[in-house]
Amino acid sequence: MERYEGTFLTLLQDWRRHYGDRPALYCDGQCLSFRELSERAEMAAAVMQKAGLTAGESVVIWGGNSIEWALNFLAVTAAGGTAVLMNYGIRAAEAAKLANMAGADWILYGTITGGQERLLPVGTMAQQAGIPWERCWPFSFAIEERVSEEEREMFLTRAASSVNCRNSQVIIYTTGTTGEPKAVQLSAYSILNDAHACYELLQEDIGRSVCNALPLFHSYGLLILFAYLSCGRTVYLPPILKPDKIAALLCEQDIDDLASVGTIYELLSRLPQAAELHLNIGIVGGGFTSPAEMIRLEKSFGSIKMLCGYGQTECSPVISVERATDPLPLRAHSVGHILPGLSVRIVDKEGNEVSSGETGEIVIKGYCTMNGYYGRAAQEDPFDADGWLHTGDIGRKIGEDMLQLTGRLKEIIVRGGENVSPTEVEQVLLSLPHIRGAAVIGRPHPIWGESVEACVVWEYPLASQQEQERIAEDILQQLRQELSSYKVPSHLFFFEQFPLTATGKTDKRALAEALRC
């Protein structure tokens, strides 16, 4: 696969040259062609530079999905700045902490939905982060302002000479479901080549357009944006990431594909409009709770082919993705084909590659890996001496180029010296009737070191504590027949629903806190 050696600025020029007046971005009734998108982003980049932004400075981008969000991201990176992508759902104190973590110099803030100004305490966040108010701009600032053509050329020429495609220009925070968030540094080279590799693998599967129902501050949402735009497709951005709004957009517009998280697909399947959603493929970030859930959902939508992928922010983020031609049982039990040109190994605890079909840690080397964690010593990065990025994920290869996940190294529960994979226990729980969600975590134990604890979402309300205790004992008894004794949970806790991260994954940190209460 030929690598793309361009920057975000040269990408804008390529879009204008190759795709011109094709529709590029659609959101909330507004549509920009590739020409309009590139020209407006370039002008905004020049405006930002005239206002004081210099190459290498970091700019927080804080707001909901919108064309303005995309324009500001493209403008910051085209100007040579580093875009620090902030979750629009967090509080000012946490936002300030993350801005400090990334060494942010500026803040760009936008709207959350439907044109209503985001009621974010930007001033409080800026004050706590030590960013002067005059360095806080609304999204509209650079988009509505103009510079002369001579100034525009001067500023863009300056930006082009100051940025290399392998420079760190995007900071995305890891989700932090099992640990503190880290500021992952990505480059145009890693992001755009990862997007191009996804297109190369899926070019026979993807349609002319996609509804990108993922937050753009998340690595998967950003990947979908560039994977489709970079091959001349149209990206629709629902301003509100709620199932009814997403369904309405899909029904109103002639959209071929959908990209979202498993939770959204589940909620969409319950809507009356579900039968009217004639989609080509559904790209899934974060996967489903179980293979059975994926099979059930795909059948409920009719023509759609669900394609799960595997990745992590440190890899820009995609490592593998499924093909529409893969049989459903294979797609349900795997995370797809390794991207073209990416090196992936499965290794044991000593770092030695294991035989095909054997389980070990997944390690990665290639074009999509990050430039390290911002503000942390190189020794804290997950790269070994030979340059392999250790994902912390446990899995195996299926054949030559497919992957299957079996767990997380960091989530392994050590009970009395025995290793317990939460994923294994969760899959057995999810195979039982009436369990709609399962999460297994470890808790400190005075004798065993850690105990195995199970949390489940039951499909109907339980009337009393006695009924809960009876059902819990029935479930544990079934687990004793399926699992080794040291893997059977000590307790089982019922939840109406699990706490979720912004990307729709079960928040195991929040669950662990709930069990401590």
* Mean pLDDT, rounded, for 68-85: 98
Q: What is the pLDDT of residue 417?
A: 67
pLDDT over 70 at 1, yes or no: no
Confidence check: pLDDT of 409 > 80? no
| Mean pLDDT of the 66-74 span | 97
Give residue 119's pLDDT band: very low, low, confident or very high (50, 70, 90).
low
Structure confidence at residue 113 as a pLDDT band (50, 70, 90): low
Are the C-beta atoms of 267 and 258 separated by less than 8 Å?
no
In angstroms, what CA-CA distances link 271 with 20, 142, 240, 276, 284? Answer: 38, 40, 16, 10, 19
Per-residue confidence at 47, pLDDT binned at 50, 70, 90?
very high
Rounded Cα distance, 21 and 109, in Å: 29
> Whose CA is closest to 315, among 337, 288, 342, 340?
342
Tokens 């070019």: give the residue: 203
Cβ atoms of 221 and 215 closer than 8 Å: yes
List the one residue out of 400, 2, 404 whose CA is nearest residue 197: 2
Q: Which residues touch 76 (CB under 8 Å, ≥6 apart)?
A: 45, 48, 53, 59, 61, 82, 83, 108
Nearest Cα residue to 198 out of 283, 320, 310, 304? 320
Rounded distance between C-alpha atoms, residue 240 and residue 333, angstroms = 31
Question: Would you say 38 and 25 are in contact if contact means Cβ atoms under 8 Å apart?
Answer: no
Summarised one tens digit per residue, pLDDT across range 253-284 is 989 999 998 878 988 988 988 878 889 999 99
Which residue shows structure tokens 């982003």?
41
* Residue 11 confidence (pLDDT) above 80: yes
Torsion of CA 272, 275, 278, 283, to 10 degrees: 70
Residue 232 φ then ψ, to 5°: 80, 15
Please name which of 505, 513, 497 lies closest in space to residue 175, comparing C-alpha atoms.
505
Kindly report which listed range (2-16, 419-433, 469-483) carries the lowest average pLDDT score.
Answer: 419-433
Kindly report, residue by residue over 299-325, the tens digit of the pLDDT: 888 789 999 999 999 999 999 999 999
What number is the average pLDDT over the span 241-257? Answer: 93
Q: What percent of the chain has pLDDT over 90?
A: 69
Q: With 0-12 CB in 10 A as exposed, 13-18 as middle and 19+ as buried, what is 445?
A: middle
Tell whether the model's pLDDT for residue 209 goes beyond 80: yes
Of 111-120, 240-249, 366-375, 406-415, minimum mean pLDDT range: 111-120
Mapping DSSP to helix (H, G, I), strand (E, B) and coil, where does residue 41 land? helix
Rounded to a whole number of angstroms, the CA Rg of the chain reads 23
- pLDDT score recorded for residue 112: 66
Give me the mean pLDDT over the 121-140 stretch.
94
Between 68-72, 445-449, 473-477, the lowest mean confidence (pLDDT) is in 445-449
Q: Over pLDDT 70: what percentage of the chain?
A: 96
Judged against a pLDDT cut of 80, whether residue 247 lies above it is answered with yes
Sorting pLDDT into bands at 50, 70 and 90, what band is 424? confident
Answer yes or no: are the C-beta atoms of 27 and 68 closer than 8 Å: no
What does the alpha-carbon distance between residue 383 and residue 363 come to, in Å, rounded to a whole number? 9
| Averaged pLDDT for residues 387-399 | 93
Give dist(CA 102, CA 76) in Å, integer.
Answer: 15
List for the chain the helix, strand, coil content (%; round to 5): 35, 25, 35
Find the range with the poorest average confidence among 62-66, 251-255, 391-395, 501-505: 501-505
Cis peptide before 132 (omega within 30 of 0): no
Question: Can you say how many angstroms the Cα of residue 245 is from the centroid of all Cα atoms in its chain?
Answer: 20
Range in 27-41, 283-297, 458-472, 481-495 the model is least confident about: 283-297
Tell me the C-alpha distance between 46 and 13, whole Å.
Answer: 15
Of 447, 439, 382, 440, the residue nearest 413 (C-alpha): 440
Question: In the prediction, which pLDDT does 176 show?
Answer: 47
Which is nearest to 255 in space by CA: 31, 69, 37, 11? Answer: 31
- Rounded distance between C-alpha atoms, residue 114 and residue 310, angstroms: 32
- CA pair distance 457, 496, nearest whole angstrom: 6
- pLDDT category of residue 288 using cuts at 50, 70 and 90: confident
Split at pLDDT 50, 70, 90, the class of 231 is: very high
Using the predicted structure, report yes or no on whether residue 406 has a pLDDT greater than 90: no
Q: What are the tens digits of pLDDT across the range 160-195? A: 999 999 999 999 998 544 457 899 999 999 999 999
* Amino acid letter, 339: L
CA pair distance 330, 318, nearest whole angstrom: 19
Mean pLDDT (the chain) is 91
Highest averaged pLDDT of the listed ranges 113-117, 389-393, 420-424, 500-504: 389-393
What the chain holds in terms of domains, given with CATH numbers, is 8-301 (3.40.50.12780), 413-516 (3.30.300.30)
Tokens for 219?
């690595």
Measured CA to CA, the distance from residue 308 to residue 296 in angstroms comes to 14
* Cα–Cα distance, 493 to 48 (Å, whole number): 52
Confidence of residue 116 (pLDDT cuts 50, 70, 90): very low
Q: For residue 280, what are its two tokens?
A: 């080509």
The residue among 507 and 177 whose pLDDT is bigger is 507
